[in-house]
Amino acid sequence: MKVVILDDADAVASYGADIFREQLQAKPASVFGLATGSTPLKLYRELIESNQQGDISFSEVRSFNLDEYMDLPPEHPQSYRYFMDEEFFKHIDIDRSNTHVPPGNADNPLTACREYEGAIAAAGGIDIQLLGIGRNGHIGFNEPTSCLASRTRVKTLTEETIADNARFFSEGETQPQLSITMGIGTIMEARLVVLLATGESKAEAIKAMVEGPVSAWCPASALQMHPATVVIVDEAAASALSNPEFFKHIERHNQALLARIKA
């Protein structure tokens, strides 16, 4: 697990966006696993700008989102399909038919979960999986106690996650209690995982994920076992780590090595 500690949220977004830009330049027909929420927004805006300037293209890209609320139609303002369309897909040259979000309003959600797994496999697997992390260590909607080998499935949301997301719903509006989410096992099959976290509220989750132990109580800790995970955090999100200076030392040497290779 590579941990990169940067000054602020803007630097986190730029570092993450560079990874996607380099991937697109090397493999235009990449398969991306995407995430919703406030954390990846700045990264998406950087990629939109790069696309509109002609530096990168998404015309051959296929994407699979991590999760979706159950029982929300795609056009609902709080659905993750709506979020992705409004915040990202409408602003880039991606073929919308190549963008996939778990169908939260499927007649048979169990069948829909199996079909989603099949679609990822048929696409050749995910090249880069983008993640955020919940305050309780969840990735996607894989809440604490989730099986670390789980596949795409229906999950009940914890009271903590429901409370964290309540601000997005109007007063009196019914808030979903269930979701469809990629499983941890599905996420672990991505060739590269990029996890972003900013702000002090994520500090304890980052500590639990990075320093362990690997446990279902912190689902993100499974990423310790992934062969290629990059965790990109700002100073606030790194503040609970036992030795953040160690990770900064490693990154300085990594950047020096990359500069020497490129020279």
- DSSP string for 7-23: SSHHHHHHHHHHHHHHH
Contact of 242 with 212, CB cutoff 8 Å: no
- Angle at alpha carbon of residue 47, lines to 249 and 59, rounded to 5°: 130
Given this model, what pLDDT does residue 169 score? 77
Given this model, what pLDDT does residue 175 score? 79
Quickly count helices (H) and strands (E) in the chain: 8, 10
Tokens read off for 187: 């996420």
Q: What pTM, to 2 d.p., does this model score?
A: 0.94
Contact of 196 with 232, CB cutoff 8 Å: yes
Given this model, what pLDDT does residue 262 score? 83
φ, ψ at 180 (rounded to 5°): -105, 130
Q: What residues are annotated to the active site?
A: 67, 136, 138, 143
Given this model, what pLDDT does residue 161 score? 80
Residues of the chain with pLDDT under 50: none
Pairing assessment for the beta strands 178-181 and 67-69 based on DSSP bridges? antiparallel
Question: How many residues can be counted in the chain?
Answer: 263
The structural domains of the chain, with segments of one domain joined by +, span: 2-262
Given this model, what pLDDT does residue 187 score? 98
Three-class secondary structure of residue 91 per DSSP: helix
> For residue 70, which of 36, 101, 104 has the smallest C-alpha distance?
104
Given this model, what pLDDT does residue 34 score? 98
Q: What does each C-alpha distance from 89 to 3, 27, 75, 83, 245 come to in angstroms?
A: 29, 19, 14, 9, 38
Distance CA 85, CA 44 (A): 12
Domain 2-262: top CATH class: alpha beta
- DSSP string for 99-160: EE---TT-SSHHHHHHHHHHHHHHTT--SEEEE---TTS-BTTB-TT--TT--SEEEEPPHH
Given this model, what pLDDT does residue 168 score? 76
